A = this chain, B = another copy of it.
Amino acid sequence: MTPTPWKLAKRAEKMNPSVIREILKVTERPGIISLAGGLPSAKTFPIGAFADACAEVLKHNGEAALQYAASEGYAPLREAVAAMLPWDVDPAQVLITTGSQQGLDLIAKILIDEDSKVLVETPTYLGALQAFTPMEPKVVSVASDDEGVIVDDLIAQAKDARFVYLLPNFQNPTGRTMSEARRAAVSEAAAKAGVPIVEDNPYGDLWFDEAPPLPLTARNPEGCIYLGSFSKVLAPGLRLGFLVAPKAIYPKLLQAKQAADLHSPGFNQRMVSEVMKDGFLDRHVPTIRALYKRQRDAMLAALTREMKGLDVQFNTPVGGMFLWVRLPEGLSAVELLPQAVERGVAFVPGAPFYAGASDPRTMRLSFVTASVSEIDTAIAALAATVREALAQRDAAGIKPLVTELESR
């Protein structure tokens, strides 16, 4: 037979393989300590509780758990989600999704037309950019500092924006958190400008010393869609997340959900619902917080020790999984990566997380998957890599690269 011509949709041309995914492939070589992944620590997965829940669900509700089910999600799980959120949520507003990534896909489908303006943080979660891209938005990066979007620039960019996408808690990639004052100002400014907020909160429960301020959605529920996930407090391999939407737009999200995969796995929903009974998360999540805090402290200590005198900047995240590093002037994280891999350590350069102009000096480090001794080894190797790159820079006598971002 003659080869059949496949004509791709226009949007397919805009879709590209994940840069990070390609990076991760390189770093899967044995002997590499990876600080690159976005994975939670597998040590935190409550395997025993899942095993008990599976057995229980299959014993007592096997047929129902394995049958087709409602697109909205399993009612007791929707009720549990509504009950655990810190504002008044009707379970009828909760849609269970196949990971919170699917929530982003559904939102893109119902809110983005070709060339619709969508506002994001600088930098922002790469997976969100990937979820929005097939609907062909014009993504605009709102100027941001170490608390997230700067209100004045949000207002300046607000006109005709379909929504602003925000990650207020321990943001991916930077680990930064929006203060109470910033939240109040952003919430007010968005409402005033008529810009809906899409609030993504996968990490909010992973705080170290104190819970973060109230979500943006709690401040103006009719103007926000809220995304949550069980991936970081239970396990990502079940692919369960949820969104909470105003009743005015919930039906369209539900239709998009039904068309996308009919419903999220009912078996998984019942398992999670079973595991969560009797306040399991109240006992389990503090153990994750304690582990991740120890890991963050180890990385901060290693960075402080190893990067001394190298003009490397890094922040102190108060929760989550990631820490944000900025290299000295003239260094590029993308260029540094192969050299770091040579020395046995991998990270993710910051560049792919920028919707607009990127800061080539930035990188994301995960502190949750490597062990404390691996972190020590990895940060020492990273420091040696930086030192070598600085020596090369100075030997070449090249004027330090001034990035667009720096010159702002």
Contacts and interface: CB of A to CB of B under 8 A. Distances in A.
A244 B394 CA distance: 53
Interface residues of A, number: 96
Interface string A1-45: 111111111111001111001000000000000000011101101
A122 interface: no
Contacts of A113: 9-11
B237 A9 contact: no
A85 interface: no
Interface in A200-257: 219-220, 222-224, 231, 235-239, 246, 248-249, 251-252, 254-256
Contact of A259 (B40, B43, B105): B105
Nearest to A42: B63
B238 A267 contact: yes
Interface string A91-118: 0000001110110010001111100100
A58 interface: yes
Contacts of A357: none
Contacts of A18: 255, 258
Contact of A65 (B58, B112, B237, B263): B237
A111 to B, nearest CB: 6
A68 interface: yes
Contact of A263 (B64, B131, B239): B239
A178 interface: no
